[in-house]
Amino acid sequence: MDTLELMKNLLPGLKITLVITLSSALLAFVAAFAAGLARLSKVRLLRALALVYIDFFRGTSALVQLFWAYFALPLLGIELNAMTVGIVVLGLNIGAYGAEVVRGAVQAVPRNQWDAAAALNFTHATAMRRIILPQALVAMLPPFGNLLIELLKSTALVSLITLSDLTFEAQVLRASTLRSAEIFIIVLVIYFLIAQALNQGVKMIEKRFTLGRDYGVIE
């Protein structure tokens, strides 16, 4: 089996890795905004719920969360397949880190932007949507980019709950061919390239959002 053939054998795994990365990124994005904004809410219950979610997912290890959801949750009557567990757990995990990014970025928008919006008779919701978030989003993008890479790296963990992602396929291939060095170097390079591509993608979005802006950009 030559190197090209080894790579061909890794392709199905690569596809699963990409699907999980993108699906959980989407979930993480939604969770980050929901929890991050809830943390800033005036309703105490919402703030408390968001804090519990954030502390829980940031305080325990991602792998322990995956194992718990895959092996322990069925005993409580909730049985999910490995793919769902992987996407949901990783999404919620990174979402908890993202929530702090959202909170920090919204809080970093200068106070007088709120005052100006109030003076123009904007409701709280409209001010948030039209004035605050567009400015906060610019500050969120670089840390979101870092979290996306963290997410990509943590998808390797789903191989340990029997999902046949890139890491899993590499292990299978290693067991059958014993060409560890080649296989793992290929896999490391693939992850590295995906990370670079994601980085570039986030940079493009950053450029798009700061286009023509010479004010309101938070350093």
Select the residue interacting with other proteins from 21, 24, 135, 154 (CB under 8 A): 154
User: Should residue 28 be labelled a site residue for other proteins when binding is judged by CB under 8 A?
Assistant: no
User: Should residue 164 be labelled a site residue for other proteins when binding is judged by CB under 8 A?
Assistant: no
User: Should residue 180 be labelled a site residue for other proteins when binding is judged by CB under 8 A?
Assistant: yes
Residue 185: both structure tokens together: 């170097």
User: Should residue 21 be labelled a site residue for other proteins when binding is judged by CB under 8 A?
Assistant: no
d(CA 107, CA 85): 33
Query: Cβ(81)–Cβ(53) under 8 Å?
Result: no
User: Should residue 78 be labelled a site residue for other proteins when binding is judged by CB under 8 A?
Assistant: no
d(CA 56, CA 145): 23
Query: Cβ(164)–Cβ(12) under 8 Å?
Result: yes
Q: Kindly report the backbone phi and psi dihedral angles of residue 6, in degrees, each rounded to the nearest multiple of 5, phi listed first.
A: -60, -45
| Of 3, 2, 11, 215, nearest in space to 113 by CA | 215
Return all residues near 27 (Cβ < 8 A) that are at least 6 apart: 87, 88, 91, 92, 95
Between 84 and 126, CB nearer to other proteins: 84
Between 35 and 132, CB nearer to other proteins: 35
| Of 149, 58, 136, 64, nearest in space to 101 by CA | 136
User: Should residue 63 be labelled a site residue for other proteins when binding is judged by CB under 8 A?
Assistant: yes
The stretch near other proteins (CB under 8 A) out of 66-74, 125-133, 136-144, 210-218 is 66-74
Between 48 and 188, CB nearer to other proteins: 188
User: Should residue 3 be labelled a site residue for other proteins when binding is judged by CB under 8 A?
Assistant: no
Task: Give the footprint of other proteins on this chain (CB under 8 A).
Answer: 55-56, 58-65, 67-68, 71-72, 75-76, 149, 152-157, 159-160, 167, 170-171, 174, 180-181, 184-185, 187-188, 191-192, 195-196, 199
